[in-house]
Amino acid sequence: MIIANGKPIEEVLKSLEGHKKVAVLGCRGCVTVCLAGGEKEVGILASQIRMAREQAGQPVEVLEGTVERQCDYEYFEQVKDIIEEADAIVSIACGVGVQGVAETFPEKVVYPGLNTMFMGANLNVGVWAERCQGCGNCVLEISGGVCPVARCSKSLMNGPCGGSQNGKCEISKDVDCGWQLIYDRLSKIGRVDSLRNIIPPKDWSTSRDGGPRKLVREDLQLESGK
């Protein structure tokens, strides 16, 4: 899932300076699950904004709304009223949702309320970690199910590098060396010998490096679709 975290409230308040009526818009997708942008967080952020502005002597009206998914634009229909009423929107969906608001309501000012961080897993209550970078050309089959792109600090294809020690990466004793994990996994499944082969430079053209990406599935497209 996409993991996001609330922006510092000061930053949100700064963007809202001068606005009189604001809508805080949540999303019931990933950001609800990672407790950053669901209905509850909408309530919390809205209260914070109202109280901060009240005590600063610049009261603001804050409307609250949460949709199923901000990355499926049809859901914005449900909150059209409050969006139209507000003079600025704070979306606390991931960056996709914020842009969804901007695209759907081209004349509205929209601000991000979260920092969208990574695609990751929930390891423990309150702990998430990155697992995939969406490189568009998955190599997990050769790396024993541990991603070298996301989990090696240098995205090396032929690790571990000389900085790997005691299972940790050279960048920090708190970061596991991704390649040590790959090594351990491949050992467990009896394929450690495969590390003897040189893995050629990765084709990054399927990644962000190839420019903004788009997926079109003809099998699914509707004639009426965009």
Partner 1 sequence: MKAGSNLEKLLRAGEFVATGEIGPPKSCDANVITHAGEMLRNHADAFNLTDNQTAIVRMSSIAAGKILTDMGIDPIIQMTCRDRNRIGLQSDALGAAALGIKNVLCLSGDHQRFGNHPMAKNVWDMDAITLIQTLDGLRKGYFQNGEEIKKCEPPKFFIGCAANPFADPFEFRVTRLEKKVDAGADFVQTQCILDMERFERWMELVRERGLHERCFITAGLMPIKSAKGARYMQKNVAGMMVSDEICERLEKAEDVKAEGVQLVVDQINYIRKNIKGVAGVHIMAVAWEEIIPTIIEKAGLAPRPKVS
Partner 2 sequence: MAGQVARLETFQPEIVAFCCENSGYLAAQMAIEAKLSYPQTVTLVKLPCSGRVDALFLLKALENGADGVMVLACQKENCKFLKGNVRAEQRIEATRKTLQRIGIQPERVAFCHLAANMGHKFVEEVRGLYGKLTELGPNPGKVRK
Q: CB under 5 to 8 A by kind: which of partner 1, partner 2, ligand SF4, none does 204 bind?
A: partner 1
Q: In the range 7-36, which residues lie near partner 2 by CB under 8 A? A: 8-10, 13
Binding residues for partner 1, rule: CB under 8 A, are 153-172, 177, 180, 183, 195-196, 198-202, 204
With H, G, I as helix, E, B as strand and everything else as coil, classify residue 130.
strand
**Residues 6+ away with beta carbon under 8 Å from 50:** 59, 60, 62
Q: Supply the minimum distance, in Å, between the C-beta of residue 224 and ligand SF4.
A: 32
Are residues 24 and 54 in contact, defined by beta-carbon separation less than 8 angstroms? no
Are residues 158 and 199 in contact, defined by beta-carbon separation less than 8 angstroms? yes
Q: Which of 17, 20, 21, 47 binds partner 2 (CB under 8 A)?
A: 47
Q: With respect to ligand SF4, which residue has the nearer C-beta, 52 or 156?
A: 156
Q: With respect to partner 2, which residue has the nearer C-beta, 52 or 109?
A: 52
Q: How far is CA 106 from CA 9, 52, 101, 189, 207, in A?
A: 25, 28, 8, 53, 28
Q: CB under 5 to 8 A by kind: which of partner 1, partner 2, ligand SF4, none does 201 bind?
A: partner 1
Q: With respect to partner 1, which residue has the nearer C-beta, 27 or 169?
A: 169
CA–CA gap between residue 214 and residue 162 (Å, rounded): 37
What six digits make up the tokens of 114? 């979260």
Residue 193 backbone dihedrals phi, psi, to 5 degrees: -60, -25
Q: In the range 68-97, which residues lie near partner 2 by CB under 8 A? A: none
52 part of the interface to partner 2, by CB under 8 A: yes
Q: Supply the minimum distance, in Å, between the C-beta of residue 106 and partner 1.
A: 31
115 part of the interface to ligand SF4, by CB under 6 A: no
In which element (H, E) is residue 65 found?
strand 61-67
User: What is the sign, positive or negative, of the torsion defined by CA atoms of 65, 67, 69, 73?
Assistant: negative
Give the interface with ligand SF4 as residue ranges (CB under 6 A): 132-135, 138-140, 147, 149-150, 152-154, 156, 159-161, 163-164, 169-170, 177-179
